[in-house]
Amino acid sequence: MLFTDVIRAKRDGETLSDEQIRFLVDGLADESLPAEQVSALAMAVFLNGMSFDEAGTLTLEMANSGTVLDWSKEGLDGPVVDKHSTGGVGDKVSFLLAPIAAACGCYVPMISGRGLGHTGGTTDKVESIPGYQSTPDFDTFRRVVKSVGCAVIGQTSDLAPADRRFYAIRDVTGTVESVPLITASILSKKIAAGLEALVMDVKVGSGAFMPTPEKAVELAESIILTARNAGLKTHALITDMNEVLGRSAGNALEIAESIRYLRNEERESRLDEVVMALTAEMLVATGLEDDREKAWERCDEAVTSGRAADHFQRMCAELGGPDDIVDDAAKHLPAAAVVHTVAARGVLESIDTRAVGNAIIELGGGRRKVGETLDLSVGFSDVASIGTSLDDATPLAVVHAASDEDAKRAEQNLLAACTFSDTPPVERSVINEILTG
């Protein structure tokens, strides 16, 4: 088979056969297909779409392109469950939800992705913890999940390797925002992780890949149905991504905020709502709780008691990180050379959140091309939420940059992304909808 024929077929709006999809996945996994051909195919899919069956085949082929984990022999005394987000800016939920769920009796083998387009990646963020092995061997991964209850790692070369390569190419070719490609990318990793249940965080808004509620619901339904066909029970929450989630965006800055959250020192209200709702849904989806309110209370107690922080600390230490990261994050996390406050006046009315993500890429905190090394210290902290009245005492944000010049450019980018008014905007809900299939 010639891959140019596969590209031409999709370019002309045809349905790809199972053999053609298998040829694509094999060529991704063994890297025999060159990036330019994969990019052309990705763009053809982006423009012409894929049927439900094509997306289902792509999902299963990518899931089976490497090792598929089986937890049934591990003798675990709780359900194996995970959450995945479609990607946002300042989305640090994984570092909170995984230890909270573990403290509530779940086992969370979380295989995360790197930054994609304007969104930050959990794998990049976790690598700002010195020594943390983000791609451990399977025995280590299994051991940590079993002993701690959670392990947040990146995609190893063995797990869904076809998606790993496809993801890296889509990241830099403007081909992310495709319902079938996102469905297959997310579910291939989750099926390969051997989960019993999955909770999806489908983001909607200016910082999400799905800008409208209709597109977000389309993606959620595509994921739920494709997962069901593959035997994976999935619930989805549609959550707001019209502003940075929490108070920071940038790799190490988000780990620092996560630790403050787990220490119960600072739980920004929108972030808290998303974390609690998603983690509670994991307890409901797995049958550990049948009532959402009770599940929420149980998750909250895991934070206030310090048990979730303890799980996070143990996970870091067992994966090679420091054994006192929760007690002394500042000692370990990289800090930027320049810290600059961005002042503004008026009520913060709206934020083009994608532009904030792009500003972080310009600071060096995200990739412009495949394989680029990141500056994990840069980004924004103390980001004001929409509706905040800004003045000298309440700035818009603080920029963390490698140089004064970078800081100035980031300040301009951030200010250009925001609108200000005299009156508070209408409040938006953070959780828009819960879909259970």
CA distance 109 to 106: 10
Query: Which one among 50, 162, 182, 274 touches ligand URA, defined by CB under 6 A?
Result: 182
185 binds ligand URA (CB under 6 A): yes
Q: What part of residues 156-175 is at the interface with ligand URA (CB under 6 A)?
A: 167
- Minimum CB–partner distance for residue 208 and ligand URA (Å): 10
Q: Determine contact, residues 362/325, Cβ cutoff 8 Å.
A: no
| DSSP annotation of 105 | T
Q: Is the dihedral of CA 204, 209, 212, 218 positive or negative?
A: negative
Residues 6 or more apart from 234 whose CB is under 8 A from it? 197, 198, 199, 200, 223, 224, 227, 228, 285, 437
Token pair listed for 187: 């579910």
Binding piece for ligand URA, criterion CB under 6 A, among 124-132, 180-188, 242-250, 378-386: 180-188
Residue type, 304: T
Query: For the CA atoms of 318, 381, 334, 324, what is the dihedral angle to 10 degrees?
Result: -40
Binding piece for ligand URA, criterion CB under 6 A, among 28-36, 182-190, 333-341, 398-406: 182-190
Q: Which of 322, 8, 59, 279 is nearest to 188 (CA)?
A: 59
Pick 42 or 302: Cβ nearer ligand URA: 42
207 binds ligand URA (CB under 6 A): no
How many helices (H) and strands (E) are present in the chain, helices listed first? 17, 12
Q: Determine contact, residues 251/360, Cβ cutoff 8 Å.
A: no
Pick 155 or 286: Cβ nearer ligand URA: 155
Pick 121 or 246: Cβ nearer ligand URA: 121
Query: Which one among 25, 144, 159, 186 touches ligand URA, defined by CB under 6 A?
Result: 186
Pick 86 or 222: Cβ nearer ligand URA: 86
Pick 167 or 296: Cβ nearer ligand URA: 167
Binding piece for ligand URA, criterion CB under 6 A, among 16-24, 177-185, 243-251, 429-437: 177-185
- Minimum CB–partner distance for residue 182 and ligand URA (Å): 4
Residues 6 or more apart from 13 whose CB is under 8 A from it? 48
Pick 202 or 336: Cβ nearer ligand URA: 202
Pick 62 or 283: Cβ nearer ligand URA: 62
Q: What part of residues 262-291 is at the interface with ligand URA (CB under 6 A)?
A: none
134 binds ligand URA (CB under 6 A): no
Token pair listed for 172: 């830099």
Please list the active-site residues: 82-85, 122, 170, 185, 189-190
Binding piece for ligand URA, criterion CB under 6 A, among 122-130, 179-187, 380-388, 391-399: 179-187
Pick 87 or 109: Cβ nearer ligand URA: 87
Cα 329 to its chain centre, rounded Å, is 22
* Position with the least CB separation from ligand URA: 185
- Minimum CB–partner distance for residue 87 and ligand URA (Å): 4
Q: Determine contact, residues 335/377, Cβ cutoff 8 Å.
A: yes
CA distance 379 to 250: 4
Q: What part of residues 69-128 is at the interface with ligand URA (CB under 6 A)?
A: 86-87, 113, 116
Q: Determine contact, residues 14/54, Cβ cutoff 8 Å.
A: no
Q: Could you tell me how many residues of this chain bind ligand URA (CB under 6 A)?
A: 10
Reported in sequence order, the residue ranges of 60-149 that DSSP labels E, i.e. its strands, are: 81-85, 108-112
HSE of 298, CA atoms in CB hemisphere, 13 A: 22
Distances (CA, A) of 228 to 223, 231, 285, 437: 8, 5, 13, 9
What is the contact surface with ligand URA in residues (CB under 6 A)?
86-87, 113, 116, 167, 176, 181-182, 185-186
